[in-house]
Amino acid sequence: MSSGKSKKPKKELIEKQIQKELTKEHYIDNKRFLTEMIKWKKEIREAEDSGDETPPVSSYIGECFMKIAERLSSKANFMNYPYKEEMIGDGIENCLMYGSKVP
């Protein structure tokens, strides 16, 4: 007996899911983020070689660090965490401290 609902073939559902994944926009553009990180790391090396201060991150990198920290704080394991803003701040600080040490 049929319940009256038409079922889509499995292949069609899989193709639709694949197409959705291919067109899905992430909250961070990975290619641009990688390009910016490489450029920042190059600036850091040049500053170290010349004895200058470490250059600041670009606004895009800072924005990405914030988005990553905020997105992680919304995960289920941090849902009832009482000091969420402090945790986000610590995460951003760690990204800035250790992001410059990436080879």
Give the pLDDT confidence of 79-93 residue by residue, as tens digits: 788 888 898 899 999
Asked if 27 and 74 count as a contact pair (C-beta separation under 8 A), the reply is no
pLDDT of residue 81: 82
**pTM (2 decimals)?**
0.68
Task: Looking at mean pLDDT, say which of 13-17, 22-26, 75-79 comes out highest.
Answer: 75-79
Per-residue pLDDT tens for 56-80? 999 999 999 999 888 888 888 887 8
pLDDT-based confidence at 35, cuts 50/70/90? very high
Q: Where are the domains of the chain?
A: 26-99
User: Is 12 buried (19+), middle (13-18) or exposed (0-12) by CB count in 10 A?
Assistant: exposed
Residue type, 53: E
**pLDDT of 43 higher than 80:** yes
Phi, psi of 80, rounded to the nearest 5 degrees: -105, 25
> Rounded CA gap, 87 and 27, in Å?
20
